[in-house]
Chains A and B, each alone.
Chain A
Amino acid sequence: SYVLTQPPSVSVAPGQTARITCGGNNIGSKSVHWYQQQPGQAPVLVVYDDSDRPSGIPERFSGSNSGHTATLTISRVEAGDGADYYCQVWDSSSDHYVFGTGTKVTVL
C-alpha cells in the first residue's frame, strides 16, 4: 500500500517560514492535498492539487510537489498556524485515499 511520511513535528518562530514535507514514492506524479487540524476541531483544506488554495485560505500557505517529496510552506507564521497538518493523495493503484502521518507545527 502507498505510504506518505511526514516529520512528526516542526517548530518555527513567529514571522518565519515553516516547511512541512510529505514523502511518498514518485509522489510528484500525484495530486497532493493538505489539511490543517486545530486541536479539537475538524480538518480544514488549506492547499489542493499541490499548490492551489481554497477561497479564504491566506496566501501565506503554499505548496509544491516534485519527485518523491511534496512540501507545504507557511510564510510569515502566526501563532494561529500552530496545528497538525496532514497531506493526502488518491492512490489509483489501490483506489484508496491515503493520509500522511501528520506533522505538529509548534509556533515558538
Chain B
Amino acid sequence: EVQLLESGGGLVQPGGSLRLSCAASGFTFSNYAMSWVRQAPGKGLEWVSVISGTDGSTYYADSVKGRFTISRDNSKNTLYLQMNSLRAEDTAIYYCAKGTAMIRRPFDYWGQGTLVTVSS
C-alpha cells in the first residue's frame, strides 16, 4: 500500500525557514517523480515543485523559485522541501504527491498534508 507521510510543518516568522519531509513507502521511491502541492486556507490547489525520479531534474512555481528547494534521498525514501525567506502568503497545507516515472504526469497518491503558518 502506498503511503506518504508529511512532517515538519509549524509556525514560523516571516523571513524564517522551514524544512518539510515526506516519508514514502509501498513503492520503489527512486523510480517516481514527486511533487509538493499547497493549499492556502479556503483556497484552491497550487503546485509548488517537482523532482524527477530518474535524473533529479527539478521545476518550481514562479511564486517560490529562488526561495524553496526540493530534494530527495532515495536511500531514505524521503522527499524534502527546504523553504527559506518565508512570507505570509506561503501559509498553507503542504501536500506531497506521487507522480509516475516521468514528470508531467498526474499525481496518483497524495499525503494528508502538513500545515505551515507564517506569522509574527
Contacts from A to B (Cβ < 8 Å): 1, 33, 35, 37, 41-45, 48-49, 54, 84, 86, 88, 90, 92, 95-102
Contacts and interface: CB of A to CB of B under 8 A. Distances in A.
B42 to A, nearest CB: 11
Interface string B1-14: 00000000000000
B58 to A, nearest CB: 10
Interface residues of B, number: 21
A83 to B, nearest CB: 13
14 contacts: A33-B107, A35-B107, A42-B113, A43-B95, A48-B106, A88-B47, A90-B104, A90-B105, A92-B104, A96-B47, A96-B62, A97-B50, A98-B47, A102-B44
Contacts of B112: 41-42
A10 B14 CA distance: 37
A96 B59 contact: yes
B45 A45 contact: no
A17 B36 CA distance: 33
Nearest to A52: B106
Contact of A1 (B35, B50, B62, B103): B62
Contacts of B110: 42-44
A95 B59 contact: yes
Contacts of A54: 108
B45 A35 contact: yes
A102 B46 CA distance: 11
A44 B113 CA distance: 13
Nearest to B60: A96
B88 interface: no
Given A96-B59, A97-B35, A42 B111 contact: yes
B104 A86 contact: no
B59 A43 contact: no
A91 to B, nearest CB: 9
Contacts of B108: 45, 48, 54
Contacts of B106: 33, 45, 48-49, 88
Contacts of A101: 44
